[in-house]
Amino acid sequence: MLIYVLLSVVSFITVALNLLVIISITHFRQLHTPTNLLLLSLAVSDLLVGLLVMPVEIVYIEVCWFLGDIVCTLYYFVDYAVTSASVVNMVLISLDRYVAICDPLRYPTKVTTSRAKVGVCSCWLFSVLYRLLLLHDHMEKPGRSSSCFGECVVVIGYVAGVVDMVFTFIVPITVIIALYVRIVLVAVTQGRRLRSQMITAVAPRRSGPAAVRASELKAARTLGIVVVVFLFCFCPYYFPALEGEDTSVNASSVAFEIWLAHFNSCLNPVIYAFFYPWFRKSMKQIVTLQILQPGSRDAKILH
C-alpha cells in the first residue's frame, strides 16, 4: 500500500507540475518565445509520462496484464517515444541557452520561433521513428518476449540496447556536458572582465554587465543540475547494456531503475521552470484563477 501511495503521488505531481508549465506558456502572450516553446515541448513529453506511463505501471504492480499483447507493445512504444522526446528536448534547451549566452548578439537571428517549431517537430518525429525501428520486432509479433499468459514484457537485445544507450544517453549527455563546460568558461571570462571594469571605473554601473553575468551564472548552474539529475536517473536503467546483458522491461513489476528514469519527468519542470521567476508568477495567477479574467493573456509576467 505504501508503494501504491508513493508512486501515485509521484504520478500526480508529475502531471500537475507539467500541466502548470503548459498552461503558463500557452496562455500568457509574453511567454510565447523560442526558449519557452522548447520548454513547452519538454513539459508535454513529461506530462505524457505522468499521465499515460506511470498510472499503467502502478496498476500492474502485482496483477496480471489482461489488455493483450498488442496493447502491451503500444504501451511500451509510447513509453519509449515520450522518454526519447524528453531527452531530445533537454538537448535542444541546452543548445538554446548556449547560443543565448555565448553568442547573445546574434541570438535573435539564430534562434527564432519558426526554427524552434522546426526543432520541436523534428524532435518528436525522430523519437517516433527511432522507437519504431527499435521495437520493430515487437511491432511485427506482439508478445514475442512474454513467457506466459498475463505477462507484459519487452526484451531488447544487447546490440539494440547498446545502440539505444548511445543515442538516448551517451550522445545527449555528452552534448549537454560540452555545452555546459563552454557556458561555464564564458561565464568565468565575463566575470573576470566585469570585476576588472568595476575596479577601474570611477562609478561602475550595476545594471547591464552585472545582469548579464548573473543570468549566465544562473543558466550554468541550471544546466549543471540537469547533468547531475539526468545521470542519476538514467544510469541505473542502462547498467544491463553496460554489463553486456539484455535489457528486460516488465510492466507487472515495480523495477527501481524504470521508475527512477521516469522520475526525471517529475524533476524536469522543477529544474527548468521553478528556476524562472515568471513561472512562479504565472503559477500564482493560475492557482488563484486570475487567468479567467478578461485580458489576463496580456498580463506582464516577465520583468
What CATH code is carried by the domain that includes residue 71? Answer: 1.20.1070.10
In a domain, 32, yes or no: yes
Other C-beta atoms closer than 10 Å to the C-beta of 176 total 23
Q: Is the confidence at residue 233, as pLDDT, over 50?
A: yes
Q: Is the confidence at residue 253, as pLDDT, over 70?
A: no
Q: Mind listing the pLDDT tens digit for each residue in 130-174? A: 888 888 777 777 766 665 666 777 777 777 777 888 888 888 888
- Averaged pLDDT of the chain: 78
Q: Mind listing the pLDDT tens digit for each residue in 25-63? A: 999 988 888 988 998 998 999 999 999 888 887 877 666
Counted domains in the chain: 1
Name the grid cell of 144: 514475442
Q: Which residues does residue 154 pair with via DSSP β-bridges, in sequence order?
A: 249
In a domain, 191, yes or no: yes
In a domain, 303, yes or no: no
For residues 179 and 202, the answer to whether their CB atoms sit within 8 Å is: no
What pLDDT was estimated at residue 22? Answer: 93
What pLDDT was estimated at residue 204? Answer: 46
* Greatest mean pLDDT range, 59-63, 105-109, 231-235: 105-109
For residue 8, the enclosing domain spans: 2-298
In a domain, 38, yes or no: yes
In a domain, 241, yes or no: yes
Q: Is the confidence at residue 218, as pLDDT, over 60?
A: yes
C-alpha closest to that of 282 among 19, 11, 13: 19
In a domain, 10, yes or no: yes
In a domain, 227, yes or no: yes
Which position has the higher pLDDT, 266 or 248? 266
Residue written as grid cell 544491463 = 240
Instruction: Determine if the pTM surpasses 0.85.
Output: no
What pLDDT was estimated at residue 215? Answer: 58
Which position has the higher pLDDT, 209 or 138? 138
Q: Which residues does residue 247 pair with via DSSP β-bridges, in sequence order?
A: 156
In a domain, 215, yes or no: yes
